Chains A and B, each alone.
Chain A
Amino acid sequence: MNVNENKISVSEIDASCRVPLLALFGGAALWLVIGLALSIVASLTFHKPDMFANCAWLTYGRVQPAANDLILYGFCIPAALGVMLWIFARLSQIPIVLPLLPIVAANIWHLGVVVGTLVILSGNSTGFLWLEYGRGAFVLLLCAFFLFAISAFATFGARHHRELHVSHWFLIAALLWFPWIYAAANFFLVICPVRGVAQAVIDWWFANNLIFVWLALVGIGAAFYFLPKFAGRPLHNHYLALFAFWTLIIFGTWCGIPQGAPVPAWLPAASTVASALLIIPLIAIAKISVKTVYGANTQCKGGPFCYIKFGTAAFILSSLMLIAQACPHFSRVVGFTWFGPAQTQFQLLGFFAIVILGGFYELMLRVMGCELPYPKFVRVQHWLFIAGLVLLVGSLAVAGIVQGMKLENPKIAFDDVSSATLIAFRFSTTGQLLLLLGSFLFAANIFVMTARWKFGLLKSGWKALNAPLQASEVKS
């Protein structure tokens, strides 16, 4: 196809994303700040257990799931949808088709998050991991996702360039994956609950498919779009990426049933085998990323390139932690310790949030057609996030292993084992504070940007109203 034939310019494509992306990112930034603040409230409970004793809304059992869900459903997913939409428009070389749908979808989605969070904080959560929101929010989120997917698929279907980009596979699989797992898990656990052991199995299946598979599809799909752009060279090896894609979704979807789970032995056994096989897509993804980036002349200097490189490395590391957890000997030590939450936080914030934030900083200048209000914040946030993650994930992971080894020793009292993890909590809470600080910088950039843009619109509208009439329009 000849580029000159179509009259659509890049800036026109970017401009078509403006309102949907502001709607998706604006809410996401708010939820990230609130989610991280709530997770600090949750961890304060460990330092001073009676701090919120008189306020049921702020007790650990409510705040902890509310914080996690805000980070995942409030920030990660809508922000990822924003990046996804922009990549689709760019790869299709057309403005977004049906641009109203993602705007509506973003608002319904954020409404769903509000409803779900209130459900949890008021003590009405379903009690299922990552599905705490319950029926109302489930319907809202699913509808929002469908509306978004219609626009995304329409943009994809109308693409000028028929051949698929590697990112297309990952992102389209993710668009199909989420409604499937989210609807199936909610149907069998919340709408029409199955009985007994199957409940736990379905919840583990869903949690793994969302936290590992879905985030990997979107995060790696986005990284495979941005990394070659930054490095200024083609993505290393189309076929290896295809291999990574299929092995990731085939092996990844089986993982997640913990060793020692009270379910028939073949479930954890199959999960362990699948987790061990995950090493194959990990090697492939690591090889693709390193070969694409290595030796490129681009300096990253704490910019978006750094974000995506760090995020991809964090994906490999956090997935290795996941594989280690499935290994029978290691899982006997770290089961029921802080190692598991450390892995989840690493996956959510270290890998996914960082990749999506990198994508955001890269695309937002283009979409808004102006510089960021505080360009230095990008670099500061990068270092705040890295320092915060090292403190949060590192201390919890080490604490988990130490805790596990002490739990195996019958001579150490349970109380002593628990109180020995307090020192790790001092580090991890500090890490969470740094992350919160970083998220403020992100929110400041997007809110000031949105405010300026809206003010600009108002100003030009006001100007148009007050402009003297053209002579040709005046009737005599």
Chain B
Amino acid sequence: MNHDLSNSKSQTSTHLTVPIWIIALMLTLIFLGGVYFDHHSGWFDAKVYGPYQSAGQLAAYQPLSGEAAIVAHGKQVYEINCGTCHGPDGMGMPGKAPPLAGSEWVNAKGFHRLVEIPQLGLNGTITVKGQPMNFPTGMAAVGSAMSDADLAAILTYIRASWGNNADAVTADDVKAVRASVGGHHAIDGDVELKTIPE
């Protein structure tokens, strides 16, 4: 054992360069660590606790109340029952259904006509945004089997989405309109629709 006092630098440690692979490994790990952090950290949000990973994920699990809850429920029911023809974006589909986004029928002040269309169905020509449209299959009475609350939620949702801005429709509103509906045949286009009060 060498216990002499001469601790000159060349004797206490060798001076080779640091191997490049360990630096490359470190940089790779820092990169992967960054990716992991990006996915799991919630980006320093003080409200995001494990096992949740981001503020968005957390928001999706939050119970909603008031109109927000109705809109969220309406979106769900809309996408199952209406979205296949009117489109999840409310833009309609050529040959199947007219657009709801920006439609004057949807944005109307009153909601009577809007309740009656799904309740009774619709055939013939309908004019939307100044364009007369005709759909060979028409619209079946898809809403007649829905509960008041579901139909109200759908209507509230379409009246508040895609740039539309009209008042919410409550389940009581729907119930009242349904009670007043007399006929049981599909509405015949613009012409008949306009006879229904707004």
Residues of A within 8 A of B (CB): 3, 10, 91, 93, 161, 163, 165-166, 228-230, 232, 234-241, 243, 247, 259-266, 268-270, 272-274, 276-277, 279-280, 283-284, 298, 366
Which of A229, A239, A266 is in CB contact (< 8 Å) with B2? A229
Task: Specify the chain B residue showing the minimal Cβ separation from A288.
Answer: B13
B7/A265 in contact, CB under 8 A: no
Residues of B within 8 A of A (CB): 1-19, 22, 25-26, 29-30, 32-34, 36-37, 40-53
Chain B residues near A260 (CB-CB < 8 A): 50-51
B50/A165 in contact, CB under 8 A: no
Chain B residues near A366 (CB-CB < 8 A): 3
A274 to B9, CA, bound (A): 33
A232 to B7, CA, bound (A): 13
Which of A230, A243, A272 is in CB contact (< 8 Å) with B18? A243
Chain B residues near A3 (CB-CB < 8 A): 4-6
Task: Specify the chain A residue showing the minimal Cβ separation from B33.
Answer: A273
18 contacts between A and B (CB under 8 A): A3-B6, A10-B3, A163-B9, A165-B12, A229-B1, A232-B2, A235-B12, A237-B16, A238-B9, A263-B49, A264-B45, A269-B37, A276-B29, A276-B32, A276-B33, A279-B29, A280-B22, A283-B22
Task: Specify the chain B residue showing the minimal Cβ separation from A239.
Answer: B18
A230 to B47, CA, bound (A): 54
Chain A residues near B15 (CB-CB < 8 A): 237-239
**7 nearest A-B pairs in the assembled complex, by CB-CB distance:** A273-B33, A266-B41, A235-B13, A238-B13, A269-B41, A269-B40, A265-B42
With known contacts A165-B7, A229-B1, A266–B42 Cβ distance under 8 A: yes
Task: Specify the chain B residue showing the minimal Cβ separation from A284.
Answer: B22
Chain A residues near B22 (CB-CB < 8 A): 240, 243, 280, 283-284
Task: Specify the chain B residue showing the minimal Cβ separation from A241.
Answer: B13
Which of A228, A259, A264, A277 is in CB contact (< 8 Å) with B33? A277
A265/B52 in contact, CB under 8 A: yes
Chain B residues near A163 (CB-CB < 8 A): 7-9
A268/B1 in contact, CB under 8 A: no
Task: Specify the chain B residue showing the minimal Cβ separation from A362.
Answer: B1
A262 to B9, CA, bound (A): 49
A274 to B33, CA, bound (A): 8
B33/A265 in contact, CB under 8 A: no
Task: Specify the chain A residue showing the minimal Cβ separation from B52.
Answer: A265
Chain B residues near A228 (CB-CB < 8 A): 12-13
B44/A266 in contact, CB under 8 A: yes
A274 to B36, CA, bound (A): 11
A161/B42 in contact, CB under 8 A: no
Task: Specify the chain B residue showing the minimal Cβ separation from A229.
Answer: B1
A240 to B15, CA, bound (A): 9
B29/A277 in contact, CB under 8 A: yes
B41/A10 in contact, CB under 8 A: no
A91 to B12, CA, bound (A): 11
B18/A240 in contact, CB under 8 A: yes
A232 to B16, CA, bound (A): 18
Chain A residues near B30 (CB-CB < 8 A): 277
Task: Specify the chain A residue showing the minimal Cβ separation from B32.
Answer: A276
Chain A residues near B1 (CB-CB < 8 A): 229-230, 232, 298
